[in-house]
Amino acid sequence: MSIDKSAKIYVAGHRGLVGSAVVRKLQSLGFSNLLLRTHSDLDLTVQSSVDAFFAAEKPQYVILAAAKVGGIYANNTYPADFITINLQIQTNVITSSFSHGVKKLLFLGSSCIYPKFAPQPIPESALLTGPLEPTNEWYAIAKIAGIKMCQAYRLQFGFDAISAMPTNLYGPNDNFHPENSHVLPALLRRFHEAKVRGDERVVVWGSGTPLREFLHVDDLADAVVFLLENYSGLGHVNVGSGKEVSIKELAELVKEVVGFEGELVWDSTKPDGTPRKLMDNSMIESLGWKPKISLKDGLGGTYKWYLENVRQ
């Protein structure tokens, strides 16, 4: 089914990496009735506020991209925040969506919901088959509860709530913080700063051999609209690029995109992390969706955004 362009769509978390991309996508497709609220306008952890908002605005569709996110350090330091805030946000939004007659809700999770030693590529069926990665289990447990809540509301009430689990994302509005950003924005920033300083070399941790998967956030936004229009199943759906890249290839590509002329050095005394992490994308592909943005093009656009918005 195609959604009416005048339908009222609430995008929760519209200032984040994912939410901002979903808003760009919806606007580019001609959706003219988007409901957006900043955190200072609406605190999603406060049930009475969320319920009053839904009662007043009566959105027809909800895309739940609001979450408290962070790296390993943040998850280790603030585990109570990560489990509590995420459970509050999703519980409030899902229950209010149901009680105020939302037609369809899409809940966004993360690939960290899967067991630490899941088979690779990771199929949807790997959920809850083994222990989680201990460093971010607080966040993962909340996200798993969100998936299960969507399923429970479908089973008990016939509420059309679906869940999508994206792989590692990158793109405009990413976090380029020097201490707590993910590998791709961290590399972009490091190569850029080395280029500006005229450094002879950039040293990157590890051997460069681990394989990772990256999806441009605009491709995810495209998949979100696709699933809203084409999927109403009980199970969650993986959204990946289906393409693996070694950290070495990624670093070399970033070096090229940034135009750093110096040497790239690998410090193999430093840890590598998981050797391989890739989502099994066959379910969404069988529905008729696949990503369009190549890693090189996506990196070029992300670097341009960094230069215009982040660079000091």
170 in catalytic set: no
Closest alpha carbon to 170 in 23, 12, 14, 18: 18
Q: What is the DSSP letter of 124?
A: G
| Residue 55 Cα distances to 52, 59, 100, 101, angstroms | 5, 9, 6, 10
The CA distance from 150 to 235, in Å, is 9
pLDDT at 135: 85
Q: Report the Cα–Cα distance between both ends of the chain, in Å, rounded.
A: 45
**How far does CA 89 lie from the centroid of its chain?**
16
Q: How many beta carbons lie within 10 A of that of residue 179, not counting itself? A: 8
Give percent of the chain above pLDDT 70: 100
Q: Distance between CA 41 and CA 22 in Å, rounded? A: 20
pLDDT tens for 216-238 read: 999 999 999 999 999 999 999 99
Other Cβ atoms within 10 Å of 131 Cβ, number: 9
* Residue pair 175/185 in contact by the 8 Å Cβ criterion: yes
Q: Please tell me which residue in 139, 153, 231, 303 is annotated as part of the active site.
A: 139
CA distances for 309 relative to 176, 177, 185, 302, angstroms: 11, 13, 13, 10
The strands making up 9-12's β-sheet, listed across from edge to edge, are: 34-35, 9-12, 61-64, 104-108, 161-166, 237-239
Mean pLDDT check: name the lowest of 41-50, 107-116, 147-156, 269-278.
269-278
Confidence tier at 100 by pLDDT (50, 70, 90): very high
* 10 in Cβ contact with 63 (< 8 Å): yes
Share of the chain above pLDDT 90, in %: 89
User: Per-residue pLDDT averaged across 80-85, rounded?
Assistant: 97
Q: What is the mean pLDDT of residues 5-15?
A: 97
**Distance between CA atoms of residues 9 and 6, nearest Å:** 9
3-class secondary-structure state, position 253: helix
CA distances from 257 to 203, 250, 296, 299 (A): 17, 10, 8, 7
pLDDT band at 96 (very low <50, low <70, confident <90, very high): very high
Instruction: Judge contact between 77 and 122, C-beta under 8 A.
Output: no
Whole-model pTM: value is 0.95
**3-class secondary-structure state, position 104:** strand
Tell me the pLDDT tens digit for each residue of 58-80.
999 999 999 998 877 888 899 99
Whole-number average pLDDT of the chain: 95
Paired tokens of 307: 């230069």
pLDDT at 56 > cutoff 90: yes
Which pLDDT value is given to residue 97?
Answer: 98
pLDDT reported for residue 128: 98
Q: Residue range 167-183: average pLDDT? A: 88
Spatial distance between the Cα atoms of 120 and 114, rounded to a whole number of angstroms: 11
pLDDT band at 181 (very low <50, low <70, confident <90, very high): confident
Predicted local distance difference test score (pLDDT) of residue 1: 82
Q: What is the pLDDT of residue 312?
A: 59
Average pLDDT (164-193) is 91
* Token pair belonging to 35: 């409901």
